[in-house]
Structure 1
Amino acid sequence: MKIAYYCLPLALFSITTLPLQAAAQSCQQATKQQALDLFEQWNDSLKSGDPQQVARLYQEDALLLPTVSKKPRLTEQERVDYFSQFLADKPSGKLDTHYFDAACNTATLAGLYTFDFAATGKQVAARYSFTYRWDGQQWLISHHHSSLLPSG
């Protein structure tokens, strides 16, 4: 009984300070236009041909499930390795459809896109989802999934 007596004030203090802690954290709400601009920033980084520039748009712990690789890319170096190969064909993406959703410090852009590969002349349709997370200073990709569009 004495334990409960001494712990109760601490528990009440913790509960009453939760709203203060939550208020101290910043909540960024992305707009649809911001998410579309983030895609264009990513697409422009592809056109640069620099895999490091592309990889810098991802959070350190981001998950990349790439279009033309079976291997999930979990580290910056793995993403750089993937983009080194992917950029060799000089890709450029175009959103065909997009769906947007946002919450506090997170935003998702998903739909269908088409890649044109200048080096080969190929065109590839794919599904995509980008999840962006606010890191306190900027929006970065926390999850990116891209897969070839199935026929039919």
Structure 2
Amino acid sequence: MMNHPPKRFAIAIVFCVASGGALAKTETCHPASKKQIAALFDRWNDSLKTGDPQKVVANYALRSILLATVSNKPRVSVEDKLDYFKHFLESKPVGTIDFRDIMIECNTAIDAGTYTFKFGDGSTVKARYTFTYVWDGHKWLITSHHSSKMPEGD
């Protein structure tokens, strides 16, 4: 014969599980508009124009990933990102957005679409991109950046 807990004990367990959310930390959401999130690309693009990899990498959260258009290596550390941008910036890239879709949640945002990069030698590359951002309490930082050349060309 099995020993079953008294019914009032079972009810207490259900109540504790059901009300567990009441103990969760509440998060204050930093307000953001689509225009403000769109400006984050401009901030990043302007940092490219400086030619300084440090200024570009300053846009990324400490814990972030860069999956770059012209590199097979995922760039996770600050050093990896600096190495990538040191070489990428040598070609004097300037990006322009061709299409975008922005989604905003509580302290996070996604800007995804297509962009074109023009380089100092006049060449261009069309690519797809996704930037994800987090509000760190002071500013918006990139947590992931994926960019891949358009598979069908121009």
TM-score normalised by L of structure 2: 0.85
Q: Does the Cα contact within 8 Å between 1:93 and 1:114 map onto a contact in 2?
A: yes
> Residues of 2 paired with 1:94 and 1:112: CA distance?
9
Answer with 1 or 2: which has the greater Rg: 2
The match for 1:100 among 102, 109, 121 is 102
Structure 2 unaligned spans of 5+? none
Cα distance in structure 1, aligned partners of 2:65 and 2:21: 36
Q: How many aligned residue pairs are there?
A: 144
Q: Which residue of 2 aligns with 1:18?
A: 23
* 1:91-130 → structure 2 map (5 Å cutoff): 91-118=93-120, 120-130=121-131
Q: Which residue is equivalent to 2:58?
A: 56
1:61–1:16 distance in 2 versus 1, CA, 3 Å: closer
* Aligned alpha-carbon RMSD (Å): 2.2
CA distance in 2, matches of 1:16, 1:78: 39
The answer to whether structure 1 residue 140 and structure 2 residue 145 are counterparts is no
SS in 2 for 1:43: helix
Q: Secondary structure at the match of 1:101?
A: strand
Structure 1 counterpart SS, 2:131:
strand
Question: Residues 16 and 106 (structure 1 numbering): CA distance in 2 closer, same or farther, change over 3 Å?
Answer: closer
Structure 2 partner of 1:73: 75
Contact 1:29 1:102 in 2 (8 A): no
Deviation of residue 136 (structure 1)? Answer: 1.0
For 2:103 and 2:42, the matched residues in 1 are separated by: 17
How far has the Cα of 1:16 moved from its partner? 7.3
